[in-house]
Amino acid sequence: KAGENPQIKPELTQKHLEATKGMVITRFPPEPNGYLHIGHAKAINVNFGYAKIHGGICNLRYDDTNPEAEEQEYVDSILDTVRWLGFEPDNVLYSSDYFQELFDLAVDLIRRDLAYVCHCTAEQIYEQRGGANKGPRSCCDHRSRPVLESLDEFQKMKEGRYAANEATLRMKMDMEDGNPQMWDLIAYRILYSSHHRTGNKWCIYPTYDFTHCLCDSIENITHSLCTREFTQSRQSYYWLCDALEVYKPVQWEYGRLNVTNTVLSKRKLLKLRDEGFIRDLDDPRLYTIPALRRRGVPPQAINAFVRELGVSTSSPIIAVERLENHIRDCLNEIAPRIMAAISPVRVVLTNLPEDYLEMIELPYKSNDSSFGSHKVPFTRVLHIDSSDFREVDSADYYRLAPNKSVGLQNIPFPITCTDVRKNADGSIAEIFCRYENEGKQKKPKSFIQWIAECPQLGSPIRLDEVRIYNPLFKHANPYDETVVPGGWLSDVDRDSLQIYKGAIAEVGLWDLINKHAATESGKKDIIDRHPENIRFQFTRMGYFTLDKDSSMSVADAAKTTKGNDVKLIMNRIVTLKEDPKK
């Protein structure tokens, strides 16, 4: 229970309870050195969720003590991501808010003779910790220098009178302890690097080990929830709070979340970009949250996925198909259906007159009138997806083939293929069909999507690109050297992005885009209005969204015919069904 840690002094508990009124306080503590990823979605759900079920509060605390890696862009993106997932931090705080307080605590620690300024090199410290052979450990001479000397030296560090690497502040812990986290960890190091918030005010920065527990303590965090790689750090966390006699939160660890066929670590993502495998850190094949968002994944699906996994201490690699199932479930509920062809082929209904035009009413979702409906033209010339036609028929094939009939979605009569015209290269130029609108017909076994040629109504809409995403890595675990001997980078599937340039869609798409255009008024550009919120199903093909590489103003969308400067780029969010090969 909050404030009932028996190991801390009663007066500290008293002060803590006065500040918190017995409330649970958690924090989500990202370092602003990259975009958040699917693993962070778990951390967010754990911290905000735990506070919520106990009627407490959860802070967002930027753990910004590494100025070399941190950027304002990531600070902004992280808050945006937390909110997009549906959580609102009770306070937005920064470790750098406490730089002065942390410095004062460091001075206090030196005064207590529990920290010393050390001039050993990184190699020397490594050797003192037993070196490569994990041999005997030793202490350096600086460890026993007088308190006043360390105070003086620490001041010099702060004043910039040492070069980087010439001095550190180390905690005087216990070199005999079996836990490496007790081997005189570094509390402060010198970095001549400008900080995104404090500028050049400081040239010494506290380490994670020094900062994290003390910020938790200052903020009266009741439960410091973190991932399991910090289990060993629990001892140093408690040691420092006790050493300074400050309020000590309770640390609990949970397992990290990993998913298959991807990598999450920020350094690895930068490498992928720098090596040219991806263009942006929000490439929709990645599992950063901005990438998932851009791909069209709804936040509810991400939250449902991490909640289903629950909070355990194990860190398994979860099959990405489980996330995809949540995405499908969610999109099935919210996505209107329209017809499109990724690789279209022309179909002429030879028995219809040239100027034949019938308007067909299409529901946005069959058997669900709450989605509404729209009208599309039906004319003598249609386009179907080339995957729905085969020149060589077989008994188990139920779509279009020579002398075979197929149904068209929402059209009363089937069509029968009577002839085919080919291009010089052997590809299909046109399929000739009879529209079977006379006499009684057998109900077709399957119904395919179609898009009519009707220039005066802007049909079909030409899609500049349809981007189909497959897993970026070929193996479930790209780090497993037994199946990926060449290392994780060699496991990248260079064909994981497929781009179709000739795709088309029916005019219902304008209607959906215009409904979306009504959101976030004030922005003239559809793309600034988060086009990923326009999610739809291309019937029989998958769920799709508009990528931010598209370009279209609100005025363009209202014209409902595609002008030359409009660019429509679609992302496939997910297929309709799980791939049966897996």
Which helix (H) or strand (E) segment is 259 a member of?
A: strand 258-259
- Is 569 one of the binding residues for ligand ATP (CB under 6 A)? no
Nearest-approach distance from CB 460 to Mg ion, in angstroms: 47
Nearest-approach distance from CB 266 to ligand ATP, in angstroms: 5
263 vs 340, beta carbon nearer ligand ATP: 263
Which residues 197-226 are close enough to bind ligand ATP by CB under 6 A? 226
CA distances from 443 to 366, 377, 398, 405 (A): 18, 23, 12, 10
At position 528, the amino acid (one-letter code) is D
Whether 445 contacts 398, CB under 8 Å: yes
Which of 31, 127, 453, 465 is an active site residue? 31
Q: Which does 118 bind (CB under 5 to 8 A by kind): ligand ATP, Mg ion, none?
A: none
Instruction: State the CB neighbour count (10 A cutoff) for residue 507.
Output: 22
38 vs 347, beta carbon nearer ligand ATP: 38
- Is 231 one of the binding residues for ligand ATP (CB under 6 A)? no
31 vs 80, beta carbon nearer Mg ion: 31
Which positions ≥6 away from 411 have C-beta within 8 Å?
360, 378, 450
Q: Which does 326 bind (CB under 5 to 8 A by kind): ligand ATP, Mg ion, none?
A: none
- Is 29 one of the binding residues for ligand ATP (CB under 6 A)? yes
Q: Which does 30 bind (CB under 5 to 8 A by kind): ligand ATP, Mg ion, none?
A: ligand ATP
Nearest-approach distance from CB 496 to Mg ion, in angstroms: 24
Quick check: is 31 catalytic? yes
Query: Among all residues, whose Cβ is closest to ligand ATP?
Result: 39
Tokens coding 372:
């509404």
41-77 burial by CB neighbour count: b if 16+ within 10 A, else e?
A: bbbbbbbbbbbeebebbbbbbbbbbbbebbeeebbeb
Q: Which stretch binds Mg ion (CB under 5 A): 30-38, 138-146, 307-315, 341-349?
A: 30-38
173 vs 264, beta carbon nearer ligand ATP: 264
212 vs 434, beta carbon nearer Mg ion: 212
Quick check: is 18 catalytic? no
Cα dihedral 244/247/253/259 (nearest 10): -90
At position 385, the amino acid (one-letter code) is D
Tokens coding 108:
């206090």
130 vs 255, beta carbon nearer ligand ATP: 255
Nearest-approach distance from CB 407 to ligand ATP, in angstroms: 47
- Separation of alpha carbons 143 and 498, rounded Å: 60
What is the 8-class DSSP label of residue 459? B
- Separation of alpha carbons 474 and 484, rounded Å: 9
Which residues 36-95 are close enough to bind ligand ATP by CB under 6 A? 39-40, 42-43
323 vs 376, beta carbon nearer ligand ATP: 323
- Is 80 one of the binding residues for Mg ion (CB under 5 A)? no
Which of 129, 256, 271, 404 is an active site residue? 256
- Is 25 one of the binding residues for ligand ATP (CB under 6 A)? no
Q: Which does 39 bind (CB under 5 to 8 A by kind): ligand ATP, Mg ion, none?
A: ligand ATP
Nearest Cα residue to 414 out of 387, 442, 392: 442
Backbone angles phi, psi at 23, to 5 degrees: -80, 150
Q: Which ranges of 54-120 would DSSP assign to H, the alpha helix? A: 72-84, 99-111
Q: Is 74 helix (H, G, I), strand (E, B) or coil?
A: helix
318 vs 454, beta carbon nearer ligand ATP: 318
Q: Which does 292 bind (CB under 5 to 8 A by kind): Mg ion, ligand ATP, none?
A: none
Nearest-approach distance from CB 265 to ligand ATP, in angstroms: 5
Nearest Cα residue to 399 out of 504, 390, 440, 411: 390
Q: Which does 72 bind (CB under 5 to 8 A by kind): ligand ATP, Mg ion, none?
A: none
- Is 30 one of the binding residues for ligand ATP (CB under 6 A)? yes
CA distances from 363 to 410, 446, 450, 541 (A): 9, 18, 15, 17
The size of the interface with Mg ion (CB under 5 A), counted in residues, is: 1
Contact pick of 13, 15, 17, 31 for Mg ion (by CB under 5 A): 31
The size of the interface with ligand ATP (CB under 6 A), counted in residues, is: 16
Binding flags for ligand ATP, 259-298, as an x/- string (CB under 6 A): -----xxx--------------------------------
DSSP per-residue letters across 463-492: PSEEEEE--SBSSS-TT-TTT-TT-GGGGB
Which positions ≥6 away from 440 have C-beta within 8 Å?
none
Nearest-approach distance from CB 57 to ligand ATP, in angstroms: 17
Query: Helix, strand, coil shares of the chain as percentages rounded to 5?
Result: 30, 25, 45
Which residues make beta-bridge pairs with 224? 251
Q: Is 228 helix (H, G, I), strand (E, B) or coil?
A: helix
Q: Which stretch binds Mg ion (CB under 5 A): 31-39, 156-164, 214-222, 345-353?
A: 31-39
Which residues make beta-bridge pairs with 420? 431
- Is 250 one of the binding residues for ligand ATP (CB under 6 A)? no
Q: Which stretch binds ligand ATP (CB under 6 A): 26-34, 335-343, 512-520, 559-567?
A: 26-34
Quick check: is 61 catalytic? no
The residue to which tokens 């009939």 are assigned: 405
Backbone angles phi, psi at 190, to 5 degrees: -90, 130
Which of 42, 248, 266, 380 is an active site residue? 266
Tokens coding 461:
């809409």
The residue to which tokens 């990405």 are assigned: 320
Which residues are known to be catalytic?
31, 256, 266
Q: Which residues bind Mg ion (CB under 5 A)?
A: 31
Q: Which residues bind ligand ATP (CB under 6 A)?
A: 29-31, 34, 39-40, 42-43, 226-227, 256-258, 264-266
